[in-house]
Structure 1
Amino acid sequence: MAAPAFQAALLHPRHWATWLGVASVWLLSWLPVPLQAALGAGLGRAIGHLLRSRRDVVRTNLRIAFPQADAPQIERLTGQHFADLGRGVFETALAWFAPDWRLRHRGEVTGIENLRAAMADGSGVLLLTGHFTTLELGARFLCLAGVRFHAMYRPYNNAVMDFLMHRWREGRSGLPALPRDDLRRLVRALRDGRPIWYAPDQALDRRMSVYAPFFGVPVRTITATARLSQMGRAKVVPYFPERHGSRYRVRILPALEDFPLGDEIADATRINHVVEQGIALAPTQYFWVHKRYKGLPPDMAAVYGRREA
């Protein structure tokens, strides 16, 4: 799927606010990286105190994921998470706009031999990860390491952002972005032996999900991972980005063995466990502001105060 062509209509005054916002992010990306880190962390902590309802969501998620932590520990983790969220805003700006020379020395990719081994027989690969605050920058470091992959693409209602996001994803990853709901194209790419970036840790469609444990609590989990792997005759290779101070590491793990099994619940449980392993590498850098536990079985009490779909 080719990136959309630039059209003069994108310069219409109704889009000026979007262009101004993009220009502001571009300017922020040129600040010294240590200053970006400090500003981002401070901004994130401030927002965490202002958005009390969202802070409660983070606390609830952390209590479920780390039941051994006491109240002060949960509060520290919550504060650090919002600091990581704030830093993630600036890291996204770097991922989108920073030239290669500015990033190359700041990160490393380990385990790339695992990806090469998985693709050695011509198999396609689902590059499986989770929604981390370092997600965009982690993908950029994969590109810097020479990994070419299809990014899944969701159309935006904002025409300018639709144009730019498609261009950014395709320009950095080296292969065309693929619509996430176009099963035929996804399967074809996998059968052609290509990698596809994939994050299955947010269940968006109840019709394609089952209840599987995530940190011990059964939660709605999409089944598409096993389906894509089977239909595309593809392997699943997990990778996880993590920040260490002002440096970054992307770990590529070996391909999952004996996957899929053909049991939807067992396969979904396996994927959730893999994501849990990635979270353990950088616990506060996971996207805990997402209401991951809103999709609980009907016989379980809601954890966010009221039951949500």
Structure 2
Amino acid sequence: MHRLHRIKTILTEKRQPAQQQSPTRGADLHSLKSRSVAAWLLVTTFELLARAPMRFRLSLGWLLSKLAPLVMPRRAKIARRNIELCFADKTQAEQQQLLKDHWRALVQSFIDRSVIWFGSPQEIEAFVTLSGIEHAHHYTDQQLPIMLLAPHFVGLDAAASRLTLAGPEGATIYAEQRNKLIDDFVRLGRGRFHNVHLVSRKDGIRGLIRLIKQGMPIYYLPDMDLGRRGAALVPFFGVPAYTQMSTAQLARQFNLPVLPVISTWDPKTGRYHVEVLPPLDTFPNPANTLEQDTAHLNELIEQWILPRAAQYYWVHRRFKHRPEGEPYPYE
């Protein structure tokens, strides 16, 4: 019994380092706050929100969700058009309610980054529950690379931070922000726990491949319109959408188990739940072409979206690039 207790203690201690923050975080935060008045206000606001009661953050999110479409009319138009295209079978009233619920969830997710990026590990574990992580650890404990497939839900950052809290280190492609201050702030938040390798999208996937070869898990977002190059024109909710085939290519080339990561915000409790699903057994399929695999992946993403349709990132221009002669949908 004593030996079993000792083994259990060792295994528990093995997981502890994943809960430690970056050793330079304090200095990095101080440096960022010292940069300008705007930087100080940004960081301090998030620090204060992290300490605020849940009720206050939810009330603030509700208020700002009413204002957001007014101050961001371009994004409001994009979201409305996406919902019209993807849910054409819904009535206008149903589409409007879905759009309203989307803004509520989207705005709340930005406010909740305060807890995710500045709350204690214990507060984050209570705020963002996690299930299915054993599916990932089955591979990462053996230092085998995997693909954590994360569709664009509003809980994307909650999921990423909660997974890095559970460990181990990993990598993801990162789209740099135009504003240098915001970019540094987001990088600091997303790289809080363990060692997160943020590979710039400008550098392509070469850096990501290098980390895969080192046995590192990758957090991969498969559902943005990045252009025609390397993409297949396949249906997304019945609308042809350019979808990158690199998801299937990477999984095939490096024999990566593909584990979906589904994040859900509960508007009743204000908390998030992240579920790591078992490895997909239908994607990739060696009997399919890359285009067929990509089409199947969109079908799977649709299935994951439907139970939480308001929580998908409808403010992205999912149908930005169109076939020759087809009109731009966001005019």
The reply to whether TM is greater than 0.5 is yes
TM interval, shorter chain, is: 0.7 to 0.9
Closer, same or farther: CA 46–175 of 1 in aligned 2, 3 Å:
closer
Closer, same or farther: CA 290–201 of 1 in aligned 2, 3 Å:
same
Cα deviation for residue 236 of structure 1 reads 1.7
The one-character-per-residue Cα deviations of 1:59-99 (angstroms, maximum 9, x if unpaired) are 22122222331111111111111111221121122221111
2:279 aligned with 1:255: yes
> Separation in 1 of the partners of 2:29 and 2:313?
35
2:72 aligned with 1:47: no
Closer, same or farther: CA 128–80 of 1 in aligned 2, 3 Å:
same
One-letter identity of the residue aligned with 1:22 = V
Closer, same or farther: CA 101–263 of 1 in aligned 2, 3 Å:
same
> Separation in 2 of the partners of 1:157 and 1:58?
21
One-letter identity of the residue aligned with 1:247 = R
Equivalent residue, structure 1, for 2:253: 231
2:159 aligned with 1:133: no
> Separation in 2 of the partners of 1:291 and 1:157?
17
One-letter identity of the residue aligned with 2:97 = R
Closer, same or farther: CA 76–177 of 1 in aligned 2, 3 Å:
same
> Separation in 1 of the partners of 2:302 and 2:219?
18
Q: What's the Cα RMSD here?
A: 3.0
- Does the 8 A contact of 1:19 with 1:160 survive in 2? no
2:120 aligned with 1:94: no
- Does the 8 A contact of 2:249 with 2:290 survive in 1? no
> Separation in 1 of the partners of 2:328 and 2:96?
21
Cα deviation for residue 199 of structure 1 reads 0.8
The one-character-per-residue Cα deviations of 1:16-39 (angstroms, maximum 9, x if unpaired) are 323322222222222112210121
> Separation in 2 of the partners of 1:46 and 1:155?
26
| Identity rate, percent | 28
The one-character-per-residue Cα deviations of 1:114-169 (angstroms, maximum 9, x if unpaired) are 32345577531111112222211122222344454223334455444444433433
How many residue pairs are counted as aligned between the two chains?
Answer: 303
One-letter identity of the residue aligned with 2:213 = R
Closer, same or farther: CA 63–7 of 1 in aligned 2, 3 Å:
closer
One-letter identity of the residue aligned with 1:278 = W
Equivalent residue, structure 1, for 2:323: 297
> Separation in 2 of the partners of 1:205 and 1:169?
26
2:105 aligned with 1:80: no
Q: TM-score, normalised by structure 1?
A: 0.85
The one-character-per-residue Cα deviations of 1:242-266 (angstroms, maximum 9, x if unpaired) are 0122222111122222515462321
Cα deviation for residue 220 of structure 1 reads 1.1
Unaligned runs of 5+ in 1: none
Cα deviation for residue 196 of structure 1 reads 0.9
Cα deviation for residue 283 of structure 1 reads 1.0
Equivalent residue, structure 1, for 2:131: 110
Closer, same or farther: CA 105–121 of 1 in aligned 2, 3 Å:
closer
Closer, same or farther: CA 56–179 of 1 in aligned 2, 3 Å:
closer
One-letter identity of the residue aligned with 2:129 = E
2:197 aligned with 1:197: no
- Does the 8 A contact of 2:225 with 2:320 survive in 1? no
